[in-house]
Structure 1
Amino acid sequence: MSEVYGFEPGDLPGDFYGITVDRLFADTWERDGLSVCDRLLILLGSLAAQGVLDIAEIQIGAPLRNGERDGGG
């Protein structure tokens, strides 16, 4: 999660948060085939197509915080 968002979130109460984070970031973002940068571009395109710009803004900020300004991901 820190590679995608540029920070390590704290634990929240309950099992749901931990299960969600493990599923999203351990399983989905780490699959073979696409880089994190490629996955982020697909996600941004999907969010923009749906008009979910507030979430897209969060996603755009993550690679900038990680120093990925050149698109090299």
Structure 2
Amino acid sequence: MKIPARDAEAADAAQLKRSILKAAFEGRLVSQAATDEPARALLARLAVDHSEAPSQRALRNSAGSKELAIQ
């Protein structure tokens, strides 16, 4: 037997989760830094990345992961 109060709490929690996810996808949870890359630039870079030969991608990705590890 379900308790009505718990059902209401579960519904409230589900609604809160949806609200938080919506705000996150809209970029309203954190302020954007001036140094952040615009989404359009990121998408363009990803398109170029996927158009390259797999060997070129692997070389660039391995170099990028070393740079991240150093920082």
Same fold (TM over 0.5): no
- TMscore range, shorter length: 0.3 to 0.5
Bigger CA radius of gyration: 2
**Larger RCO (CA within 8 A; separation ≥ 6):** 1
| Higher helix content, 1 or 2 | 2
**TM value normalised by structure 2:** 0.32
**TM value normalised by structure 1:** 0.32
